[in-house]
Amino acid sequence: MRLTDQSKELFAASLKHIPGGVNSPVRAFRAVGGEPFFVDRAKGAHIWDVDGNDYIDYVGTWGPAILGHAYPDIIDAVKKAADHGTSFGIPNPFEPRMAKLIKDLFPSVDKVRMCNSGTEACMSAIRVARGATGRDKIIKFDGCYHGHTDSLLVKAGSGALTFGNPDSAGVPKEFTQHTVVLPYNDADAVAQALEANKDQVAAIILEPIVGNAGLILPKDGFLQKLRELTSQHGTLLIFDEVMTGFRVSKGGAQELYGIKPDLTCFGKIIGGGLPVGAFGGREDIMNYLAPVGPVYQAGTLSGNPLAMAAGIAALEALKSGEVHQRLEQLGVRLEAGMKQAAADANLDVTFQRCGSMFCGYFGKDPVYNLSDAMKCDRDLFTRYFHGMLERGVYVAPSQFEAGFISAAHSEEDIDKTIEAAAESMKHIRD
Q: Of 232, 226, 224, 62, give the one whose Cα is nearest residue 141.
A: 226
Is 305 strand, coil or helix? Answer: helix
Provide the mean pLDDT of the chain. Answer: 93
145 annotated active-site: yes
pLDDT digits (tens, 9 = 90+) for 112-134: 999 999 999 999 999 999 999 99
pLDDT at 163: 38
Alpha-carbon torsion, ordered 27, 241, 252, 101, to 10 deg = -100
pLDDT digits (tens, 9 = 90+) for 181-217: 999 999 999 999 999 999 999 999 999 999 999 999 9
Q: Which residues contact 318 (CB under 8 A, 6 or more apart)?
A: 66, 67, 105, 246, 250, 269, 324
Distance, in Å, from the CA atom of 136 to the CA atom of 107, rounded to the nearest integer, reads 28
pLDDT at 82: 98
pLDDT at 4 over 70: no
Mean pLDDT, residues 384-413: 97
Quickly list DSSP for 365-378: S---SHHHHTTS-H
274: left (phi over 0), alpha (psi -120 to 50) or beta: beta
pLDDT at 155: 56
Mean pLDDT, residues 406-419: 98
Q: Which of 268, 384, 394, 413 is catalytic?
A: 268
Is 54 strand, coil or helix? Answer: strand
Which helix or strand (DSSP H or E) is residue 156 part of? Answer: none
pLDDT digits (tens, 9 = 90+) for 215-270: 999 999 999 999 999 999 999 999 999 999 999 999 999 999 999 999 999 999 99
pLDDT at 167: 64
Domains and CATH numbers, the chain: 72-318 (3.40.640.10)
pLDDT at 171 over 80: no
Q: Which of 49, 57, 240, 413 is catalytic?
A: 240
Distance, in Å, from the CA atom of 237 to the CA atom of 242, rounded to the nearest integer, reads 15
pLDDT at 430: 73
Is 421 strand, coil or helix? Answer: helix
Is 271 strand, coil or helix? Answer: helix
pLDDT at 426: 93
Residue 166's pLDDT band, with cuts at 50, 70 and 90, is very low
Which sign does the torsion angle of CA 315, 316, 319, 325 carry?
A: negative
268 annotated active-site: yes
pLDDT at 104 over 50: yes
- For residue 303, the 8-state DSSP code is T
E strand segments, 102-149: 111-115, 137-141
Q: Which of 145, 184, 288, 361 is catalytic?
A: 145
pLDDT at 1: 46
Burial class (CB in 10 A: 0-12, 13-18, 19+), 60: buried
Which helix or strand (DSSP H or E) is residue 352 part of? Answer: strand 350-354
Share of the chain above pLDDT 90, in %: 88
pLDDT at 429: 78
Query: How many other C-beta atoms can be found within 10 angstroms of the C-beta atom of residue 365?
Result: 11
Residue 172's pLDDT band, with cuts at 50, 70 and 90, is confident
pLDDT at 411: 98
Q: Between helices 411-429 and 322-344, what is the axis angle to 10°?
A: 20
